[in-house]
Amino acid sequence: MSYRILLRDHRGLLGIAFLAMFSSSLGQSFFIGLFQVPIAERLGLTAGQFGSAYSLVTLAAGFAVLRLGPSLDWVAPRRFALIVLLALFAGVALLTGSSWWPLGVLGLGLVRFCGQGMMSHLGNTLAGREFTALRGRALSLAGMGLMLGETLLPPAVAALLVWLGWRELWWALGAGLAVFWGLSLVAAPWPPAPPARRRRDGQGAGPRPFREARFWRLLPLLMTLPVAMTGLFIYQARLTSAMDSSLAVYALALTGMGLAKLPGALLGGHWVDRLGPVRLARLYLLPFALGLVLALTLGGHLAIWALMVGGGLAMGAQESIATSLLVRLWGVEHLGRVRATLSAAMVFSTGIAPAALGLALDLGAPFALVLWGMLALLVGGWWLAQGVLASPAARGVSP
């Protein structure tokens, strides 16, 4: 019933957040990966060179989000969205229109920064800041924009490439998004700029999470799932071989993961509003932990399904839990700054994790040891976060 009330009374604002999350698909790895070969060929890059460039622009995007993301705490959201859109479309134009690799890589960086970085930052911050009693549900509904992109775009791309070239497909998708964003910028009920303003002397600019011990204690808990799932995605061939399974089973389980995200998001948002983000933060990784235990003890096709479905359930719930927890700890007026800091940390960690895992595998570590490491990271992150989750601020108690 609460979801129905949200959609009835706030569909305009939710539509903005949903559209921002869907638009972030253009900069997500799952979408860019569909065009890795033609992009590399057009820019004259080998697979290794493309991978290196991709890692570098991803790290640069993380620093840019850390620097520019907090501006959403004082810039009007409509203006913020318009600037990000213009930069995103400029990135698409450079990526698809230039055959000179420096310009193409610059376009790739803009697409990563504005898509995965700023668009998802805009959608989650709006949903987390503009709703109070139903914040968890609002965040879960906004997050379905990205879920729709992950589910719809890969098969749509495969079908449309029969008639269109890869560049024409990017242009068509960009034109479609431009139409929806044009209508949204003109007709949607955009919230006003937040009342807080940054002072010119730099004081009162808000918290600096990287300088707070509680942020570092909370970070491993929130990073465990992105880091682990990135490793499982990239090294899927090693995973299926180690579990005595197959890539065909992995592909089916990947679909199961996408389907599992939906109940994870809906139930996660509902429970965040009813039980609070602190209780959910202690529990939401249990499906993935169970998947790791089953994979390590049983193996086979069941291991792949357990990892993907358990990861999907937890991934669906994570954003509403994480953003609600940041609001509880640092306040809604600083959500843009704190979310940008968390987003940058996520980008850095998921950019470094594949290299670290690849090095371990090259040194001869069995994939089962990698899974044990993921389980150890999960348990260690959970343990480190307990002091923060038990603090008066997390429990909503004024000091």
- pLDDT of res. 324: 87
**pLDDT above 50 (res 202):** no
| Domains contained in the chain, CATH given | 1-190 (1.20.1250.20), 209-388 (1.20.1250.20)
The per-residue pLDDT of the chain, averaged, comes to 84
| Dist. CA 381–CA 224, nearest whole Å | 7
**pLDDT above 90 (res 289):** yes
- pLDDT of res. 140: 86
- pLDDT of res. 395: 63
Least confident range of 63-72, 234-243, 314-323: 234-243
Averaged pLDDT for residues 76-94: 93
- pLDDT of res. 119: 92
Report residue 398: phi and psi, to 5°. Answer: -70, 140
**pLDDT above 60 (res 160):** yes
More confident residue, 238 or 219: 219
pTM assigned to the model: 0.81
Quick: pLDDT tens for 7-20.
887 888 889 999 99
- pLDDT of res. 200: 41
Q: Which residue has the tokens 């999350």?
A: 21
228 Cβ neighbours under 8 A, 6+ residues apart: 288, 311, 374, 377, 378
- pLDDT of res. 47: 66
Quick: pLDDT tens for 321-362.
988 888 888 888 788 888 888 888 887 777 677 777 777 887
The encoded tokens of residue 20 equal 């921002």
Quick: pLDDT tens for 246-259.
888 887 887 888 88
**pLDDT above 80 (res 281):** yes
Q: Which residue has the tokens 């600019």?
A: 205
Give percent of the chain with pLDDT exceeding 70: 94
- C-alpha of 194 from chain center: 24
Q: At what angle do helices 247-275 and 2-9 cross, to 10 degrees?
A: 90
Residue of 59, 89, 233 lying closest to 150 (CA atoms):
233
Quote the Cα angle for 304-265-290, to 5°. Answer: 35
**pLDDT above 80 (res 36):** no
Quick: pLDDT tens for 176-201.
999 999 999 988 888 887 775 544 43
- pLDDT of res. 399: 38
**pLDDT above 60 (res 398):** no
Averaged pLDDT for residues 372-385: 92
CA dist list (Å): 328 to 214, 218, 224, 325, 396: 13, 13, 21, 5, 7
**pLDDT above 50 (res 127):** yes
Averaged pLDDT for residues 355-374: 84
Averaged pLDDT for residues 363-373: 88
- pLDDT of res. 199: 44
Task: Compute and round to an integer the Cα radius of gyration of the chain.
Answer: 21
